[in-house]
Structure 1
Amino acid sequence: MYLTGSKKHSLDSKVRLTLPAEFRREFDRTVVLLPTKDALYGFTPEGHRAYVESMFPDGFKPGDKRQVELKRYLNGLSIRVDIDSAGRIALGKVREDVREKLGLGQEVMVVGNDDHFEVWNVEAWEKLQADFAEDFDFLMFGEA
């Protein structure tokens, strides 16, 4: 899987998001949603598991209290949602306070980021892109 690109989408009245067709093709029937500091991440079930396991590069140690707590926290925050026959996922299954904290309103930006997609507040995404654009030429070409 390799997801790229960004598209603005409107949520429907039932707080469902229609995934872009090119993203939908990469998923079977289930998406695992993980709220993060800035956005809502969407993984395949296998991708989510790999993401959680990546938090433990030396392997998960069940006797390590901090690792147990982190794994529990990540898995406890995650929500499995089905992709319906129209290619929609129910963002309404994400707690309303979490959606509000992320600023996910009527319009959202859906962003491909390699092995997962991200659902962003449109203004937050545009600001992030504008801020990064200032550094892009320098990072890419060593020029200001």
Structure 2
Amino acid sequence: MLLGTFAPKLDDKGRIILPAKFWDEFSGGVVLTRGQERAVFMYSQREFENVHEQMRQASTGSKRTRDFLRLFLSGASQEIPDKQRRITIPPLLRDYAGLDRDLTVIGAGGRAEIWSTSAWNDYTAATEAAFADADEEVIPGLF
């Protein structure tokens, strides 16, 4: 399970060093793709195959489903970490998420998310109050 918040830097070649706590999960390779709220989603190869299998079960009769699948999968890129545990974030995804030198990488359970630090700060500022003040069940049976 991927947990925590990290602050790697994007180098001049568009690479980041994977957080050490994520290394076991990602050492065999990662799949990067567009995520919601303009973040880059990062999955292990195994987890991405699970996600893709769930997507294959979705009906493509809905235009909304087709649109989502097209954008999600067309932006996907398989990356193998180098010996320094770096991966390259492709230009398409760097542009999509507005990534510059300062990044925030968060663990989100089965995936990690790569955010521009300024976008992450804006997101948390806009959503933390609602999180703290939640007075109804958000996740059935849990919160």
Task: Indicate the TM-score class for this superposition, using the shorter chain for normalisation.
Answer: 0.7 to 0.9
Deviation readout 1:65-91 (Å, 9 max, x if unpaired): 856775454332210011111111011
Specify the alignment match of 2:54 in structure 1.
54
- Residue segments in structure 2 that go unaligned for 5+ positions in a row: 138-143
- Residue segments in structure 1 that go unaligned for 5+ positions in a row: none
After superposition, the Cα gap between the structure-2 partners of 1:141 and 1:54, relative to the gap in structure 1 and judged at 3 Å, is same
Percent identity, aligned pairs only, is 24
User: Is 1:44 aligned to residue 44 of structure 2?
Assistant: yes
Specify the alignment match of 1:128 in structure 2.
123
Deviation readout 1:18-39 (Å, 9 max, x if unpaired): 0110011212321100112411
Per the normalisation by structure 1, the TM-score is 0.79
Write out aligned runs for 1:1-144 (5 A).
2-37=1-36, 38-55=38-55, 59-60=57-58, 64=61, 71=69, 73-91=71-89, 94-96=90-92, 98-139=93-134
Aligned pairs, how many? 135
Q: Letter of the aligned partner of 1:54 in structure 2?
A: Q
Q: Letter of the aligned partner of 2:23 in structure 1?
A: R
Q: Distance in 2 between matches of 1:141 and 1:72?
A: 34
Q: Letter of the aligned partner of 1:42 in structure 2?
A: M
Q: Is the CA contact (8 Å cut-off) linking 1:19 and 1:89 kept in structure 2?
A: yes
After superposition, the Cα gap between the structure-2 partners of 1:18 and 1:29, relative to the gap in structure 1 and judged at 3 Å, is same
Deviation readout 1:5-48 (Å, 9 max, x if unpaired): 11111112221100110011212321100112411111011211
**CA RMSD, 1 decimal:** 2.6
Comparing 27-36 with 103-112, greater Cα deviation is found at 27-36
